[in-house]
Structure 1
């Protein structure tokens, strides 16, 4: 199992934003410069993270982004789900998905939700504050 580059970059950007939590806002250009994430990717991720309610954005001169809540209240799971959607180890864990050829005869399928819950729980237990040393 591996995170997409976009989800990885989202965690990196959110960590950078958390390190600037005492400032009014941080610009996309500063995020890009500090993290090495290309500007086009920064803009895409900022849009997704604002839409998910993890960042607040102000446009125009003096604009930028900031965390929408304390770093201790944002988990790695929140960030990943903002970019990739619900965490699902297999398609059969996602509600409404019925596209597996083994559905109906799979003896493992009933147990995937426990595995999925454990992974999501572990990611939920890691806060942005714990990654960055940002104030709680």
Structure 2
């Protein structure tokens, strides 16, 4: 399983925003410059992240973006779900038609698998993601 590019970029953007905690607000264009991501992509992400309640946008002089709640209260699962929707490894869990649905003995187990995956991602906080680490 891989995150989509957009989910990956959302994690990068939120991690960079978290590094500004306590230092005032930051603009989407600043986040784009600091992360090296294209400005239109960051704008799109900011819109999704604000809509999900992870970022807050303040207009006017001194305005900009800031985390909507403390970095410790934002998880990797929150960020991924803001961009991708509910975490699910298979489409059948979402009610999508499946050609083997009537015979599938695994389907009842997917919610357990999905919850385990979501739980693992929920245990990684934005604080951890925002920590600078040496690149080997």
Please indicate the TM-score interval, normalised by the length of the shorter structure: over 0.9
Q: 1:11 aligns to what?
A: 11
TM-score scaled by length of structure 2: 0.92
Q: 1:122 aligns to what?
A: 120
Q: CA deviation at 1:30?
A: 1.1
Q: 1:65 aligns to what?
A: 65
Q: CA deviation at 1:92?
A: 1.6
Q: 1:109 aligns to what?
A: 107
Q: 2:50 aligns to what?
A: 50
Q: CA deviation at 1:132?
A: 1.6
Q: Secondary structure at the match of 1:65?
A: strand
Q: CA deviation at 1:59?
A: 2.8
Q: Separation in 1 of the partners of 2:130 and 2:102?
A: 45
TM-score scaled by length of structure 1: 0.92
Listed one character per residue, the Cα deviations across residues 33-82 of structure 1 (whole Å, up to 9, x for unaligned) are 11011000010000000000000002344321000010000000000000
Aligned residues, how many? 132
Q: Separation in 2 of the partners of 1:98 and 1:49?
A: 26
Gaps of 5+ in 1: none
RMSD after superposition = 1.3
Q: Separation in 2 of the partners of 1:59 and 1:11?
A: 24
Listed one character per residue, the Cα deviations across residues 99-125 of structure 1 (whole Å, up to 9, x for unaligned) are 101111011111111111110000000
* Structure 1 residue 35 corresponds to structure 2 residue 35: yes
